[in-house]
Structure 1
Amino acid sequence: MVMTEVLFLVVAALVAIYSWFQRNHSYWQRKGIPYVPPTPIIGNTKVVFKMENSFGMHISEIYNDPRLKDEAVVGIYSLNKPGLIIRDIELIKSILIKDFNRFHNRYGRADPHRDPLGYNNLFFVRDAHWKEIRTKLTPVFTSGKVKQMYTLMQEIGNDLELALKRHSEKSSGKFITEIKEICAQFSTDSIATIAFGIRANSLENPNAEFRNYGRELFAFTISRAKDFFVVFFLPKLVSLLRIQIFTQDFSHFLRSTIGHVMKEREQTGELRNDLIDVLVALRKEAAAEPSKPHYARNQDFLVAQAGVFFSAGFETSSSTMSFALYELAKHPEMQHRLRKEINEALLEGGGSLTYEKIQSLEYLAMVVDEVLRMYPVLPFLDREYESVQGQPDLNLKPFYDYTFENGTPVFIPIYALHHDPKYWTNPSQFDPERFSAANRKSIVAMAYQPFGSGPHNCIGSRIGLLQSKLGLVSLLKNHSVRNCGATMKHMKFDSKGFVLQADGGIHLEIVNDRLYEESAPSVP
């Protein structure tokens, strides 16, 4: 009798849960919005559970579904949570710019208790707190400040040249390598010096502390894939599932490192026009007015900004560089043209490029921009709708008779936009000419946004672009890249990554042909 009652209760509970999911899964149908039919309980996340694709890239697959090509939005479900994929360019502009006040928060979140560095950094912080932090950090990223950082970047560029020369000397002038690792060593060392005033020495020692922690942060194991999926698509579960973006080891390393550098900077009074200067100034600002609340009294807030600067800065540049070298190896004629432009500029500058000169290299800029079109580091943007008190909610008229509800997540499929033949001719073809001075004018603005658009765009885009350009210049100065037996013929992305990463890495042959050294005038 007892067993029968228990069985009845279990069955009743399962039926209730199933009915609840089914009710939620009929939301878009009831609202008259086109949608992708969900799988019971797991919604539209089946590809993630089967490890067939990341959910960020799956959003682009849905965008490209021919049955939905004329729709402005598409309804989806992250488990049972209804969300919208935005397809229409004008709606995307509305979300990111025109109606930013209603979409100013990301949908993704971090756990304030187990992951304070994730919770407090500029990427995830919310509401007025975000606006205030963004305003305080913006001075670090002006064109003037970035120009001042360039000299420090050049030192790391020289280190990259020396590291490549060492590799070449050990292997008779050419060697096969996973190119992303070399690019990551360069960008790690660059970020460490321009942001924190630290020589990380990853190019000299690939297992140096900074590089090891960066490698761990973006090593997309199944466990890490689960963490990032929850953060971006099931954010209400981050605390329950004890999710951490920054692991305990990484957080401890960063707290110790940044704390030491800030203390030293306060004692010496040294100014380097970097992120540490801003963090020190914020702490002084808080100390000057002890009676007023100030977020800078929380050391984790200060360390969190360093954390996002480090992680986003090195991943963006290293990915852009490695994907660029992959395409240049596939297109030797483009590589020849780029190296010719670089070499001529180096000969004119006596072996180095001024900030103004590297920014003036037209074909280099075209190559980098096209790489960012084909391989945007973050393949999607996420936002959350927020009602404004005293004002009617936004609706999707004239497309659909639907009014946004508070808390509705929206996703913008950047990768799909960058590959849509509606906006790009032969979008799967690598073609830097799209970004020539003449052709650039015809680009639809909202169809190209590797760093996002509007007030919430990437604050460090200038640094990321400059770092990528300098890295390519330093590598291609005396070395060419070629395909090898291990080079993938067609790019395949890691299904576990929330950012774009090549599945299995990018293996290329680097050849030391001494282009600049052979063409530079000899010194008597």
Structure 2
Amino acid sequence: MVSLWLLMLGILSIYLWLRQRYSYFERHNIVHLPVSAWTPLGHLRKLLLLRISFGDLFHNIYADPRGGQAKVVGFFLFQTPALMVRDPELIRLVLIKHFNSFLNRYEAADAAGDPMGSLTLPLAKYHNWRESRQSMAQLFTSGRMRESMYPLMMGVVIDLEQYLQRKLGDRSERMLPLSKMCQLYTTDVTGNLFYSMDVGGLRRGKSQLLKKTKELFDPDPRKVLDFMSIFFLPQWTNLLRAKVFSEEYAQFMRGLVGHPRERSKGDLIDQLLHLQSSRPSSHYAQHPDFIASQASIILLAGFETSSALLGFTLYELAKQPDLQKRLREELAEAFSLTPTLTYETLVTLPFLRKVCLEALRLYPAAAFINRECTSSDPNGFSLQPHVDFVVPNGMPAYISILGLHRDEKYWPEPNRFDPERFDPDRSKDIIPMTYIPFGAGPHGCIGSRLGSLQLKLGLAHILRLCRVEVCEQTVPQIRFNPKTFMLESKDEIYLRFYRDKL
């Protein structure tokens, strides 16, 4: 009997504690999404059960009608109060204008137990992040992309064309899945550009680099626990022994970056070696896993976002034959005198540019981003005059880029693929900070220009050989995969490829 009373008392105490935690926004008069005091999971239950993707979770919070017209909406990561910022001016304030008060991303790895994860550019805290960012930014200048990267990428798109030719064989048409082709393409590009490595996945139809990368995303209970703690319980990563990379993947990347090979001058590894030599007193840069950690995260970021985006764009063009025809006519003129396009030609094709911008609106490279309040004021950062609230230090502020990009307040018929939104006569009316597919401000995606270039080049050479159409196995609409961090289709995307060389 005593045990039963103690159990009931314990349950009641937990309930009252959760109820008090979940009343935070009510006490501060902030519009918020309610949560039951009977759950300790806050608004993360569906995500933890792998029933919803990261992108959809934050999109749903952004678009929840209970938020009304509020500029910020409160919600809970487990019992931690967090803000969803929905107003473009407030988004500019957090990401750019008052960057110094929001220096870090909220997620974090355990520096002691997972040094390789904590060293990565996205998870490094500000002072360490700044060192890497300044050095790695030199890899992505327009001059480097034009002079060094583009010629290497041309070798990969020739392999891409040959891959398609082999798949078609002597047939005039064939139904093909998109994921493998797109993933081989992006991992081949990444290996060539950053590791001076001729991956050759498209030539062989398989790639060790791709295999190891995909293994990292295969969900299991341990990986789910690790990722959830890194993103939503960063203060617990030490206790939970959470790791960003599996030990097998970490060893693979250490071997990859340490393997002796002839390197392209200024590739990623060369650039990071230069950073180490120029900062001999930096404990961060001199860590033995520093180079492997940056190489690992560049591969993951480039593989998952770029491959999925190429597939999504082909899917949208297959559903709208008139748009595809217009794009192929533009490409036919560009390819009329040469089997390859110069860098200058590719980046200035107007309709290709609009198609890619619209693809990034519907399927942004970053579905959501966050910042942690790091104000120099011990009381936090005031949102006045926009909102009567002081963001306390340590509180995360989230921005749903997917939500912004599909908000009918800013984009009429937001779910329709319409490249003409980015016609010069119309794009001048786009409200600043409502289109940020790669994030914005100092923490914005370092590889955004390369990602766009890779998409344009892949599209140009696929559509140079083939036109694509929907088929009986094409999904009627994209559902995002709840088992991956970035936006990826839950279902394989099949299209019918017709041999139709320009």
Please report the TM-score for the alignment, with normalisation by the length of structure 2: 0.95
Matched letter for residue 306 of structure 1: A
2:462 and 2:311 mapped to 1: Cα distance? 11
Deviates more, 1:447-456 or 1:276-285: 276-285
2:102 is aligned to 103
Deviates more, 1:397-406 or 1:364-373: 397-406
Establish whether residue 430 from structure 1 lines up as the match of residue 417 from structure 2: yes
2:74 and 2:264 mapped to 1: Cα distance? 51
Aligned pairs for 1:331-480 (under 5 A) are 331-348=320-337, 350-388=338-376, 393-480=380-467
SS of structure 1 residue aligned to 2:239: coil
Cα RMSD (Å): 1.9
Using the TM superposition, give the Cα deviation of residue 223 of structure 1 relative to its aligned residue in structure 2, in angstroms.
Answer: 5.7
Matched letter for residue 376 of structure 1: P
1:150 is aligned to 150
SS of structure 2 residue aligned to 1:445: coil
**Residue correspondences, number:** 499
Note the alpha carbon deviations across 1:489-520, whole angstroms, 9 max, x for none: 1221122332111112211122222x23xxxx
2:426 and 2:265 mapped to 1: Cα distance? 39
2:407 and 2:389 mapped to 1: Cα distance? 26
Structure 1 residues 222 and 435, CA, compared in 2 at 3 Å: closer, same or farther? Answer: farther
Structure 1 residues 293 and 446, CA, compared in 2 at 3 Å: closer, same or farther? Answer: closer
List runs of 5+ in structure 2 lacking aligned partners: none
SS of structure 2 residue aligned to 1:158: helix
Note the alpha carbon deviations across 1:266-322, whole angstroms, 9 max, x for none: xxxx54332122022123335xx5xx3443321211111111111111222212111
2:290 is aligned to 301
Matched letter for residue 466 of structure 2: H
SS of structure 1 residue aligned to 2:382: coil
Deviates more, 1:322-331 or 1:293-302: 293-302
1:278 is aligned to 271
SS of structure 2 residue aligned to 1:204: helix
Instruction: Confirm or deny: 8 A CA contact 1:51 1:495 kept in the other structure.
Output: yes
Note the alpha carbon deviations across 1:110-167, whole angstroms, 9 max, x for none: 2334433321011110021111221121111111111121000000000001111111
Note the alpha carbon deviations across 1:190-230, whole angstroms, 9 max, x for none: 01001110011111234321010122234456664554333
2:94 and 2:108 mapped to 1: Cα distance? 19
Instruction: Confirm or deny: 8 A CA contact 1:225 1:498 kept in the other structure.
Output: no
1:198 and 1:395 mapped to 2: Cα distance? 49
2:461 and 2:421 mapped to 1: Cα distance? 25
List runs of 5+ in structure 1 lacking aligned partners: 517-524
2:20 is aligned to 23
Choose the corresponding residue for 1:38, options 35, 45, 56: 35
1:311 is aligned to 300
Structure 1 residues 44 and 335, CA, compared in 2 at 3 Å: closer, same or farther? Answer: same
Identity of aligned residues (%): 37
Deviates more, 1:45-54 or 1:134-143: 45-54
Instruction: Confirm or deny: 8 A CA contact 2:35 2:42 kept in the other structure.
Output: yes
Structure 1 residues 79 and 393, CA, compared in 2 at 3 Å: closer, same or farther? Answer: closer
Note the alpha carbon deviations across 1:355-379, whole angstroms, 9 max, x for none: 1111111111111110000011321
Aligned pairs for 1:37-436 (under 5 A) are 37-40=34-37, 41-147=40-146, 148-169=148-169, 172-220=171-219, 224-261=223-260, 264=261, 271-286=264-279, 289=280, 292-348=281-337, 350-388=338-376, 393-436=380-423
1:48 and 1:497 mapped to 2: Cα distance? 11
Please report the TM-score for the alignment, with normalisation by the length of structure 1: 0.91
1:218 and 1:145 mapped to 2: Cα distance? 31
